[in-house]
Amino acid sequence: MGDTGVGSSTCPFGRPIRDAHFLFAPTYTPLNHGAFGTYPKSVQKRLHECQALSEARPDYFVRYQYPPMLDKSRAAMAQFLGLPVDEVVFVPNATTAINVVLSNLRYKKGDVILHLSTVYGAVEKTIQYLCETTEVDDINVAVQYPIDDGFLVSLFRAGIQSVKSQGKTVKIAVFDTISSLPGVRVPWERLVEVCKDEGVLSMVDGAHGVGHIGLDLAKVQPDFFASNCHKWLYVPRGCAVFHVPKRNQHLIRTSLPTSHGFDPLPREGGQEIVNPLMIAGPSKSNFVMLFEFVATLDVSPYLCIEEALKFRRDVCGGEEGIVTYCERLSNEGGDKIAEILSTEVMENGEKSLARCAMTNVRLPLIIGDGPGEIPRKNTLAVAIWMTEILAKVHDVYLPAFIHADAFWVRLSGQIYLELEDCIRGARILRDLCERARGGEYLKDQKRE
């Protein structure tokens, strides 16, 4: 499956591009690209160049070299997304951007944050923290896949209307482009439309968006959007793009942590706080300046955008080829794993859930108290045990998880993988499931 003839320029995809351009250990089978991503050697070279520049003249770099270099990266990212450059900034990860948005909003009694039950765990904990420390409440819209997109949209709208019927206000709704576990494509464009209809702010968690699926943000126009560039775009960790349209930038008064870009309101008897990093140069908006320097961190990943896009264009042949190969491999690989395990992939009647480069496959394990079944109290232990054995014994990473009262694994398709990699993972999974049914995970727990 190495060379599909789709989108490959200098190298065919699969093993050839892995060997020539990526940094994996020879025995490692990375079937979980969606978690932390990776990047090619050319991007690593750029990363090291930027780090060397920052160490050669630290003060000079931070004050004079870095800002224009960052502007070029922002311009490249804005062009890639089809957005105005002054609506695009970088933060370390999508979770940070979502924290920025939720923490900048002002809440009063009766305000509600709405989210789906499949929201990323760190985001849900952010919401819970705000419920503990402010007057806001939350509503969790329960979702059990597989369901059709139309049903999900109706659940989402019903959740908003239920809040309104109680005399409360949905201040903001948080939802994914592609959820994490399970890894399924969410009809986020339609959810944005519902938010517009209902007068609700939309926060799109596009952690798995950029470099993975088409976005067309200029057309959809969410109120806030964030996506990790270090997942599917081949940029080093941690780098995420944070998009706030001009109409909403007044709502974002501070970064996290609050840093030199914050412009405090005048206070009687107060004195001006001078930004020690402010230099003469082109004027930038308050929003852009807010995120240009946020405390001290390694900003080198932000400066690798152009090199990553160059790799995707010159080596991979462009976005269409990458997206087509990854989605095709994810779907074919998922089907093959399901065939070997005698189970099925997670899909709905519209065939929309796997319209991306992640596929979920059910494991042949039954939750229950019968012979060979997994007691409900042990389900998490089994998922952790299987994932750990895959990684530590077989040098394969494929996450196991529980959803809708069943065991699943999530496969990520990527240009450096081939169908044979999926088959290898499936055969190991089949053996581990048999061992789990025999209770081996309990023996390993006792040894620990």
3-class SS of residue 247: helix
Give the pairing of strands 240-243 and 224-228. antiparallel
Q: What is the pLDDT of residue 350?
A: 93
Q: What is the pLDDT of residue 278?
A: 64
Q: List the chain residues with pLDDT less than 70.
A: 1-11, 278-282, 444-448
Q: Are 66 and 299 in contact (CB under 8 A)?
A: yes
Residues sharing a CB contact under 8 Å with residue 121, sequence separation 6 or more, in sequence order: none
Q: What is the pLDDT of residue 281?
A: 55
Q: What is the pLDDT of residue 267?
A: 83
Q: What is the pLDDT of residue 12?
A: 86
Q: Tell me the DSSP string of 107-150.
A: --TTEEEEEETTS-HHHHHHHHHHHHHSS-EEEEE---SS--HH
Could you say which DSSP state residue 349 is in? T
Q: What is the pLDDT of residue 274?
A: 77
Residues sharing a CB contact under 8 Å with residue 395, sequence separation 6 or more, in sequence order: 25, 27, 28, 29
Q: What is the pLDDT of residue 258?
A: 94
